[in-house]
Structure 1
Amino acid sequence: MTLLTYQVFKTIADVGSFHKAADILGLTPSAISHAISSMENELGFSVLTRSKAGVSLTNYGEQLLPYVNAVLNCDESLKQEIAELNGLKQGKVKIGVFSSVCTSWLPEILHSFKKKYTEIDIEVFQGTYDDVVYWIKNGVVDLGFLSVSSAKDIPIEPLYRDELLCVLPSGTKANKSTNYIDIEEMKHHQFVTQRDSTDADIQNFLKENSLQVQSNYHVVDDLSTIALVEKGFGICLMPKLVMTDIPYKVDSYPTKPPASRIIGLAAMNPNFMAPAVRTMFNHIVDKYQENEFKK
C-alpha cells in the first residue's frame, strides 16, 4: 500500500464520505473508490461500511486507523526533518485542547507562534479530557493539553497550577464572615455537575471529600454550568482559569480544603517529536510553565 492509500483511508475516516474525501485530496470519486478497494483486497478484509447515511469504519478499520495515523505522522516528521536540515521552519502541528485552555490560552499561543514561524501550519481540535487522551493515543494530534491527573499513562509536562473555586449565585453565601467555602457549607447545596470526562479533577475533589452531590443538571460546557448557577439551579466547582472575564453574576470562593488541578502539555513520544512539533512544544512551555514546575 502507498502513502496515498493511507491518506485516502484517513480522509474518508475523518469526513465520512467518498465525495468529500475526493474534493479534499483533489482526486476523482472513482480514484478514491479504487484506492479503498485495492486496500481491502490487499488486506483481505473490509475497512469501511457503506450506507445511505454515509461511510463509517468497520471494527477492523477502527483497529487499523491508529497505525495509519502513525505512518502518516512519520511521513510528516520526515518532511519536517528534511526542511530543518535545509534551514527551513515548516510543517504542521496538530494540538488537542479542552475548553478553558482554548478560550484563555490558545488565541495568544496561535498569535505569538505564527508571528515567529509563518511557515508552520497549526490544526486545533477541541474536546473533553477523554477526547484529548484518545486523540493523542491514536495519533490524531501531536500534542494535547490535559490535567496531570487525566493524562494517566501519557507523558506530560506540568505547566500551571489552576486553583479550584466554588461558584455560587451572587450574594447567596451563607457564612459571610469567611472568604472561603468549606465542605460543610457545600453539603447544604444542590450542585450543577459536569461529566467525569469534562473535568476529572473536580470529580476527584468531590470523592476525596465524601461529597455525595445531588444534581439534576449534567452538562459539558463550562459557561453553561456557570449560567445555570447564576439562575439559582445550584452551585458548582470550577477552575479559576475558567472564571476570568465571565459574563455572569456569580460569586466565587476558594475551597477549604484548598484544591487545584495541574495543567500540562502531553505527547505520546516526547523524545521523538517532529521538528515543528518540538518547536511548538518548547514555545508553549517557555510561555506558560510556572517556576514550581521548571526543572
Structure 2
Amino acid sequence: MDINKFLLLNDIAVTKNLTMTAERMGYSQSGVSHAIRKIEEETGIIFFTRTNHGVELTKIGNDLLPYIQMISKYYNVFNESIDSINGLHTGSLSIGTYPSIAAQWLPPMLQEYKNKYPNITISVKEGRMIDVEKWIMDGSIDFGFLSWNPDHPFKFITMSRDPLYIITSKDFVLPQAYHGIFPASIFEDYPFIYSESGMDRDDISLFLQKQKSKITKNFTCRDDYTIIKMVERNLGIALLADLVINCHNGNINKFPTYPSAFRTLGIGLLSERNLSLAAKTFIKIAKKIVQEITPDNIL
C-alpha cells in the first residue's frame, strides 16, 4: 500500500475528523474521502465508522493502528534524514502538465530550477486533464499543472487565470454594436471549428455547454495549430485559451467573449505535507515565475 495512505490513516486516527485531516495534510475534503474508499477497496478492510462528531476506528482498524503508527513514524524520520543529508544535491522530480503550460510556463521555471539545482533529475509528462488527474491520484507524478475543477479529489493551488478568446481570420469584421466583444449568443451565427475534448480543451467544452448555443460545427480538430490555420483561411471561428493562442504566431484576430470565459490554472497534488523538498522548492519557483509572466491574471 502507498506510504501516503498510511500517513493519512494515521492522521485520521488522531483527529477523528476528515475535514481537520484534510487541512492538516493539504488534501481537499473530497480527496480524503476518495482516498479512504480506495484504501478500503484495496485492503478489503473497513477502517473507520462515521459518528455524530466525526469518525472512529473500527475494531480491526484499532488492531492495525500500532503498525500504521510505526510505519508513519519511521517513514517521516527517514525522509527528514535524507533531506538533511542531501538537501537539494540529489533527487528526482516528476511533473504532469497540459501542452500549453509546458510550452509557455515550464521553460523559464525549468531554467531557473536547473540553474540552482542542476543535479535534480526532472521528467515532464504531457497529457489531457483526465491524464494529469490520474497521474496525481496514482502517485506517478509529484504534482501536475492543470485547470481547476470543483470535482477534483485532490489539493489545488490556484496560480493564474487564463482567458478564453474567440479567434477569427484577419478579414473578419465584428459588428460595431458589440464594441469589440464577441457575445456567446452569436456563436451559432458563424461556422465553428470545434476543439475535440482533451489536452487544453476541457474548459472550452464546459463553457460552450453552459452557453447552450446551437453551434454549427464546420470542422472538429484535435491539433491547435490546425485550428488556427483553418481560422486564418476564414473556414470558421474557434474558441481557444490565451496560452494556446500564444503558442502559435497565427495571422488572426482574437476577441474576448461575453459572458467572459476563462480557466483557472494552478497545481494539483495529493498532499503538500508529503511533498519532497525538491517538489516544494520547484512549486515556490513556479509561483514566482507565473507572477512575473502573467502579472495581470494572478489570482
Both structures adopt the same fold (TM-score exceeding 0.5): yes
1:128 aligned residue? 128
Secondary structure of the residue aligned to 2:112 is helix
* CA RMSD across the alignment: 2.5
Secondary structure of the residue aligned to 1:264 is strand
Secondary structure of the residue aligned to 1:237 is strand
Unaligned runs of 5+ residues in structure 1 are: 1-75
1:230 aligned residue? 232
Report the TM-score, using the length of structure 2 for normalisation.
Answer: 0.66
1:151 Cα deviation after fit? 6.5
CA contact (8 A) 2:103 2:247 kept: no
Which amino acid counterpart does residue 208 of structure 2 have in structure 1?
Answer: L
Which amino acid counterpart does residue 263 of structure 2 have in structure 1?
Answer: R
Matched pairs, number: 219
What per-residue deviation string (whole Å, max 9, x for no partner) do you get for residues 120-151 of structure 1? 11100111111111211122211111100276
1:194 aligned residue? 195
CA contact (8 A) 2:100 2:247 kept: no
1:140 aligned residue? 140
Q: Which whole-Å CA distance do the structure 2 matches of 1:78 and 1:261 have between them?
A: 40
Q: Which whole-Å CA distance do the structure 1 matches of 2:148 and 2:266 have between them?
A: 6
Matches within 5 A, 1:109-188: 109-149=109-149, 152-176=152-176, 178-188=179-189
CA contact (8 A) 1:170 1:249 kept: yes
Matched, 1:97 2:97: yes
Unaligned runs of 5+ residues in structure 2 are: 1-74
Q: 1:247 to 1:291 in 2, by over 3 A?
A: closer
1:271 aligned residue? 273
Higher RCO, 1 or 2 (CA under 8 Å, sep at least 6)?
2
Q: 1:155 to 1:243 in 2, by over 3 A?
A: same
What per-residue deviation string (whole Å, max 9, x for no partner) do you get for residues 55-92 of structure 1? xxxxxxxxxxxxxxxxxxxxx99986444212531211
Q: Which whole-Å CA distance do the structure 2 matches of 1:94 and 1:151 have between them?
A: 23
Q: Which whole-Å CA distance do the structure 1 matches of 2:212 and 2:224 have between them?
A: 23
1:174 Cα deviation after fit? 3.8
